[in-house]
Structure 1
Amino acid sequence: MWFMDIINANPAQQSFDFAMDYGQTWKDEHLQWDPADFGGVDHIRVPEELVWIPDVLLYSIANRPMFPNNKRRAVIASDGNVSIYSPQILTLNCQMKVENFPYDNQKCIIQFVPWTYTKAQVMVKADPPPKDVGQIYDGVNNDQEHPEWKFISFKVFEIISNVTLPNSGGQVVESINLSFEVEMSRRPTYYICVLALPTFVITSLCVLGIFAPFSSTGDRHEKVSLGLTTLLAIAVILNIVSDQMPKSTKLPRLGYYVLAELFVCMLTTIVAVMIMFLHQRALSKHWLPPFWLQRLLCCKLIMRKNLPRHSSPAICDHIAEKHSNGENTRLLKAFTDYERSLKAVNTWIELLQDEKYLVEQWNELLNAIDMLLLIGVQIFNIIMSAFLIL
């Protein structure tokens, strides 16, 4: 028995389609002759329906013959050995284990079972026959490898079980069947390049776009939009992964990775919103940045520069002394109005200077926090990706 190729794999339905060719050989004592009596003919080919064929069935498998029964031939040797070959397309229902997807290995079982014969009537053996139960054969022949799956091993087990015959008064007979175990390994290159690598790149760009201190205006609305867009893109990738997998209680390895990247993007977006809220709150309440946090993050301390005040109390006093007798009252009133206006302008300039000072101090502090978060989250993302994917 040997496999020709893997035609199709349907992980969602937990099934594989194989183009397989296997042969059966048995000895029929009624089909023997002496080649010398027939001109040296030592073997013949006849239609399969003309000879007796043991009812050895492929158990729990959907199979489709490549050739109809009336087109197949049986090879009969002069010593009574009869051989038939049955190329078929088999659909194997395999219980897939997807915990390590896309680095998973899958095993499929094919059972050859005599349907109506016991062990005493028909002895089913592998060729060459196994010496004991569980003997392993390394005989997989696959000339054309499947792009996603590759064979690892091909083993055969001889299983003998006791069966109670119905309507026999409890008579127990031995039944024998051969179980062929096909182990395959998935090639992860496609899933790494198409799903895992784009997820890593999208997440890295999301973290870079949110935490990169490119702007000192404190406007982070575009960064939040970037985070939400990235969450949507990763959700689409997660949907693609779920379509590739059977419905199971356990999440595949790649699914854990995509969810972890989704969590990283969600966390960075939440942090960006919190920083934006803190920035606006601090500026509206005129909070000074904590000095210890500035020293901890090695922020550049921006010294406050006071503008010169332009009040002229000496001039006003001089005018008041010079014109104490009531002369030029209108000139004194004009200088008094000028002094009041100058004080109002100075007050407004001081307010603007204070606001500019706060903005510069908070921008310097938040830029340092952004850079720290950028480096920390990117390092965490790289380590997590290497642990889950590589």
Structure 2
Amino acid sequence: MFLQTILLIFLGILYASYSQDCVRLVSKEDAWDKKLHSDKMANYRFRQPPRNQSCVPVKVHFQLKTFAFDEYADRFTAKMWTRMIWRDERLAWSPQEYGGVSKMVVLATDIWTPSLKLLNSVDPDYFNMDMEECLVHNNGEVMCVPEQIYESFCITKLRNWPFDVQNCTLQFGDGDRLSTTRFRFKGRAITLDAAEYGNGWNIMQKEFKEDSDSDVQLSFTLTMERQASGLVAVLIGPCVILSILTTASILMNVNDYIRLGLSCFSLISHFVFVFFIDEFLPKHSGDTPVILFFVRDSIILTITSVLFTFVLSKIVKRETVPFEWVSLVSNKVFFSFGKYLILPRWRVEPDSKDNNVNNKEIWTNMANILNSVYLVVVIIVYIILFRSYMPKEPPAEY
């Protein structure tokens, strides 16, 4: 019991000694800091810019945290840290006069701060630079780093959708017409860090420029590429399948209703695919995606195939004496090397009771020739359509 009492007394004395030193140290530093604030804020007029300066140079650096591009509303939203640095001689002091204090934190509402405004904002009448605290160095240099959300219009370009590339620009200027602030970029202007990817887009390139003599003093443009892997799978694949369906129907026998059924199925699938694209396609754009031109021309080819099937079915059923030019073309092709180029080849089944077998054979040969020519034309047209209207991945330099 005696030892425990001695130990408690010793700890009490030790605690009292060290705690008083800490209190005196903290209190002394707080006192100098309070005195510094009191002296600097005594006659400070926060509505007036720094004195003895025709203009106030302000260095600005943006650090992108997150971004989003709404192609349905043509809006680009960026959440960024906006670091602004300027010099205010009214806030300078000598550290020796204030116990070695070389920095102090002040409320942004207590000092003059530059009015950096997004000029191409969605809401041009709204302006609020939400700053809480700023760091002031003893040489009068002030640094404020507010977290801001900037939202601007960005016109969507969908010509190469879904491999589209969008360029969104943010333009900044002085929001206070009474001040003479001159903004300049600091360093690389904008830092992306891990924000290059987000919300279905990749930032591939950034450009910035500054002009302190114009209303738009600072501006930077972000080049974004859509993350199109999923859309490519559900758009390009069906285009290939539809073209194969239309081409495959031409290879079938014209007397078989399967050919007509496959052509009609392909035509219906085209229209279903158009409604499917409408679910994904952004509506606010002056550009027409080239993939829609491909679907349009493919629909025309499929309709032509359906009508051509009816025409060929009438030709192969004819029993009248063929025209002279029909016989000439038929014999010229089928009694030469050209017969190996005819694909497919339909034959007339021999019938001893039918006296018009020869005529029907000539008409059938003519239908084979026309069908083969049409098949080649369709294949060539689809090759042209794929080369002209199929969306292409952006070049690597983006």
Following superposition, the deviation at residue 77 of structure 1 comes to 0.9
The partner residue of 1:222 within 261, 273, 288 is 261
For the pair 1:108 / 2:142, whether they are aligned, the reply is: no
Following superposition, the deviation at residue 85 of structure 1 comes to 0.7
Following superposition, the deviation at residue 381 of structure 1 comes to 1.6
**In the alignment, what sits opposite 1:259?**
293
The partner residue of 2:272 within 226, 233, 256 is 233
**In the alignment, what sits opposite 1:246?**
284
Once the two structures are superposed, residues 338-372 of structure 1 have per-residue CA deviations (whole angstroms, 9 ceiling, x without a partner) of: xxxxxxxxxxx235xx46x6666655554554444
Following superposition, the deviation at residue 78 of structure 1 comes to 1.0
Contact 1:207 1:378 in 2 (8 A): no
Please show how residues 1-390 of structure 1 align to structure 2 within 5 Å: 1-61=61-121, 69=130, 72-101=132-161, 102-119=163-180, 122-127=181-186, 139-146=190-197, 147-161=200-214, 177-187=216-226, 189-190=228-229, 193-194=232-233, 196-213=235-252, 216-217=255-256, 220-240=259-279, 243-248=281-286, 250-251=287-288, 255-280=289-314, 283=317, 286=320, 288=322, 290-294=326-330, 295-296=332-333, 298=339, 307=352, 349-350=353-354, 354=356, 362=363, 365-367=366-368, 369-388=370-389, 389-390=391-392
CA 1:116–1:33 in 2, change beyond 3 Å: closer, same or farther? same
Q: Counterpart amino acid of 1:291?
A: S
CA distance in 2, matches of 1:358, 1:235: 44
Contact 1:207 1:265 in 2 (8 A): no
CA 1:219–1:116 in 2, change beyond 3 Å: closer, same or farther? closer
Q: Counterpart amino acid of 1:24?
A: M
CA distance in 2, matches of 1:371, 1:51: 84
CA 1:206–1:285 in 2, change beyond 3 Å: closer, same or farther? same
Contact 1:210 1:226 in 2 (8 A): no
Number of aligned positions between the proteins: 314
**Consecutive unaligned residues in structure 2, runs of 5 or more:** 1-60, 393-398
TM-score (norm 1): 0.68
CA 1:5–1:381 in 2, change beyond 3 Å: closer, same or farther? farther
TM-score (norm 2): 0.66
CA 1:277–1:287 in 2, change beyond 3 Å: closer, same or farther? farther
CA distance in 2, matches of 1:47, 1:287: 102
CA distance in 2, matches of 1:148, 1:223: 39
Following superposition, the deviation at residue 226 of structure 1 comes to 1.7
Q: Counterpart amino acid of 2:282?
A: Q
Following superposition, the deviation at residue 204 of structure 1 comes to 1.8
Following superposition, the deviation at residue 84 of structure 1 comes to 0.7
CA 1:79–1:257 in 2, change beyond 3 Å: closer, same or farther? same
Three-state SS of the structure 1 residue aligned to 2:300 is: helix
CA distance in 1, matches of 2:347, 2:296: 38
CA distance in 2, matches of 1:197, 1:112: 44
CA distance in 1, matches of 2:388, 2:191: 33
Mark the structure with the bigger radius of gyration: 1
CA distance in 1, matches of 2:121, 2:247: 52
Once the two structures are superposed, residues 54-94 of structure 1 have per-residue CA deviations (whole angstroms, 9 ceiling, x without a partner) of: 3332223259x9x9958x21111111111111112221212
CA 1:265–1:57 in 2, change beyond 3 Å: closer, same or farther? closer
Three-state SS of the structure 2 residue aligned to 1:155 is: strand
CA 1:148–1:362 in 2, change beyond 3 Å: closer, same or farther? farther
Contact 1:150 1:186 in 2 (8 A): yes
CA distance in 2, matches of 1:6, 1:215: 60
**Consecutive unaligned residues in structure 1, runs of 5 or more:** 129-136, 162-175, 308-348
Q: How many percent of aligned residue pairs carry the same amino acid? A: 13
